[in-house]
C-alpha cells in the first residue's frame, strides 16, 4: 500500500491559502486545514478571509480545480467524476460544460426526471412545429383522401387559419370541412 504525497498549491486569488491534491484547503495564516461545511446541495464550502473583517464562502471543488487542473474558456463547471460531492481530490474532479455536468448526473443516477420536468419535456415536444413535431397528429380530407402531416398544413391548403381548423377538429366549433383526425 502506498501513501500518496500531499501536494500544496497556493490559490491564486487568495494569498496565504493553499489547495491540496487530496481535496483540502490549508491556511498559512493559522497553520491549519480549514473546516468545511456543506451547502444546501451537499457541496463542501470554506470561508476565506478577503480583507479586514470580510470573508468569502467558496466551493472547495472549484478552488481545487482552479489550483490543479488547467481549464479552457468554455468549461465553467467542476464535475465530481464519481458523483460523490465530498470527494474533492484532484483525481475525482474535471472541468466540464453545464450541459456535460447535467448529462453526467443523469447517467450515474444522481439526477432523475421528476413529474414536473417530464411534463416540461412533453410540452417541449408539442411545441415543435410542422412535420418535425413527433406529437403532431395527422389529418385526412375525407372527400379527396389526402393525408396531411399536420393540422397547420391542412389549414393552409384549405385557406383557413390553424386555430379555426383546430377548433373544428376538437369539437369547439362545428366542423364545416371534411377534415378529420387520421387514425391509423
Instruction: Identify which of 11, 96, 89 has the alpha carbon closest to the alpha carbon of residue 56.
Output: 11
Domain 128-181 in the same topology as domain 8-107: no
Instruction: Determine the straight-line distance between the first and last CA of the chain, rounded to whole angstroms.
Output: 67
Class of domain 128-181: mainly alpha
Give the model confidence (pLDDT) of 29-68 as tens digits: 999 999 999 999 999 999 999 888 888 999 999 999 999 9
Decide: 178 and 143 in contact? Cβ < 8 Å: yes
The C-alpha cell of 125 is what?
415536444
Per-domain residue ranges for the chain? 8-107, 128-181
Predicted local confidence at residue 1, as pLDDT: 42
Instruction: Please state which architecture CATH assigns to domain 8-107.
Output: Alpha-Beta Complex (3.90)
pTM: 0.61
CA–CA gap between residue 66 and residue 13 (Å, rounded) = 10
Predicted local confidence at residue 51, as pLDDT: 81
Amino acid at each position: 500500500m502506498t501513501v500518496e504525497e500531499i501536494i500544496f498549491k497556493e490559490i491564486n486569488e487568495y494569498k496565504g491559502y493553499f489547495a491540496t491534491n487530496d481535496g483540502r484547503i490549508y491556511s498559512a495564516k493559522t497553520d491549519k486545514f480549514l473546516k468545511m461545511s456543506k451547502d444546501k446541495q451537499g457541496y463542501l464550502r470554506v470561508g476565506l478571509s478577503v480583507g479586514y473583517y470580510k470573508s468569502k464562502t467558496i466551493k472547495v471543488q472549484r478552488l481545487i480545480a482552479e489550483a490543479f487542473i488547467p481549464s479552457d474558456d468554455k468549461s465553467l463547471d467542476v464535475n465530481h467524476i464519481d458523483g460523490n460531492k465530498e470527494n474533492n481530490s484532484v483525481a475525482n474532479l474535471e472541468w466540464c460544460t453545464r450541459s456535460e455536468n447535467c448529462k453526467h448526473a443523469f447517467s450515474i443516477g444522481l439526477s432523475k426526471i421528476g413529474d414536473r420536468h417530464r411534463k416540461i419535456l412533453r410540452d417541449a415536444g408539442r411545441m415543435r412545429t410542422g412535420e418535425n413535431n413527433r406529437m403532431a397528429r395527422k389529418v385526412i380530407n375525407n372527400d379527396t383522401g389526402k393525408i396531411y402531416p399536420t393540422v397547420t398544413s391542412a389549414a393552409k391548403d384549405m385557406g383557413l387559419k390553424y386555430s379555426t381548423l383546430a377548433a373544428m377538429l376538437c369539437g369547439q366549433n362545428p366542423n364545416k370541412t371534411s377534415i378529420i383526425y387520421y387514425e391509423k
